[in-house]
Structure 1
Amino acid sequence: MVLLSASICGLRRLVSICEEYATSHELVYNVDKSQVMVFGAGSKRYENIPPIKINNNTLQRVLKFKYLGHMLTPDLKDDEDIERERRALSVRANMLARRFARCTRDVKITLFRAYCTSFYTCSLWARYTQKAYSAFRIQYNNAFRVLLRLPRFCSASGMFAEAGVDCFYASMRKRCASLVRRVRESGNSILNMIAGRLDCIYVRRSCAMSGEWCRTGRFKRIVSFYFLFVP
């Protein structure tokens, strides 16, 4: 469960409602797994905030949190999540190269498509540094080289074209396009509201990545949020 509020007072009110519900239903929240994250407004960072308590226990404030497999940070950047996926890709690629070293080329290509081209939550990456993004792209290319035992400095575009496998940019475009399509076709009113806003950073990036038309313009709306994670 996640509680989101724009102020400490609002967050405390939400926590009190949860405490009342837990008491009436004879439930107990796990304080050790409940944590607080404060999202800054632009370049502002809030070092000191009033404590948030559940059952008179102060909750720990964290600088990163994995929610549904996606890494969240106070600055709302995706470098941590890109690094998480880069390491996961490295583990999967090394496992395939070690266990299936004697398989045929076609088998290795099929395994690569199945295990190394699915980037979890990559369509949500919108704010990141070029360094983190390039490191992930290089890891993707090297994973294919290691699995097929290709020279280290061979052409990335050439090896993917020869094998009939999507390159890094093609894989990212497909996943971003899939996100836009599913959001726009959803019957959920909240998702429809998000899809209808051209200032939504995720929809705008997905449109740009997938080559769809998206009206230009800059929208700045910076709000400080307080995030509470309760298992």
Structure 2
Amino acid sequence: MLTSNLSDDPDMERERRAMAVRGNMIARRFARCSNEVKLTLFKAYCQTFYTCSLWVRFTQRAYNSIRVQYNNILRMLLRLPRHNSASRMFAEARIDDFFAIRRKRVGSLLNRVRGSSNGLLRELAERLDSPLTRYWVEVAIGRAK
């Protein structure tokens, strides 16, 4: 989604709402299934974040909102209490948390841009003085959100 101020907040909210719909659908339709089935569905339907590698200009509120939604969907599917530790929940389920997914998506985009046949894109990705490249690298190594 493009906005006049180039904010990514509306796109993050769109993705958060879509993820909430998908998570609720899985929870309702597959409530009686095993946790293994629910985790497989969670990975397939709630870890997409197709545009997250492009999120650069956003508020902490928008970022936290989508991250919390992601955590709460897994809690709901596994029928865990709201106060249950998210990091422990993801570790026990052996599923990537929101931060890991975002790092992987950003790293993948950076690698694709660097390997592109388009010289302009390659140049953009190879320039370490480029703010976008610096940001992608910081996210990929876990220094930025």
Q: Is the TM-score greater than 0.5?
A: yes
Calculate the TM-score normalised by the size of structure 1: 0.59
d(CA) in 2 for partners of 1:103 and 1:140?
20
Structure 2 runs not aligned, ≥5 long: none
Partner of 2:107: 177
1:115 to 32, 40, 45: 45
SS at match of 2:87: helix
Cα RMSD after superposing both structures = 1.5
d(CA) in 1 for partners of 2:95 and 2:80?
15
The letter of the residue matching 2:133 is: V
Calculate the TM-score normalised by the size of structure 2: 0.93
Partner of 2:124: 194
Partner of 1:90: 20
Matched, 1:106 2:36: yes
- 1:135-172 Cα shifts (integer Å, max 9, x gaps): 11100000101111111110000000000000111111
Maintained 8 Å contact 1:93/1:143: yes
Maintained 8 Å contact 1:195/1:203: yes
Report how many aligned residue pairs link the two structures.
143
The runs of at least 4 consecutive aligned structure 1 residues that moved more than 6 Å come to none
Greater relative contact order, per chain length (Cα 8 Å cut-off, separation 6+): 1
The letter of the residue matching 1:205 is: Y
Structure with more of its chain in strand, by fraction: 1
- 1:76-104 Cα shifts (integer Å, max 9, x gaps): 11111111110011011001101111110
d(CA) in 2 for partners of 1:202 and 1:122?
14
Shift of 1:120: 1.6
Partner of 1:73: 3
d(CA) in 2 for partners of 1:162 and 1:185?
35
Maintained 8 Å contact 1:124/1:202: no
d(CA) in 2 for partners of 1:141 and 1:187?
38
Structure with more of its chain in helix, by fraction: 2
The letter of the residue matching 1:180 is: L
- 1:60-90 Cα shifts (integer Å, max 9, x gaps): xxxxxxxxxxx10011111111111100110
The letter of the residue matching 1:184 is: R
1:129 to 59, 69, 73: 59
Shift of 1:212: 8.3
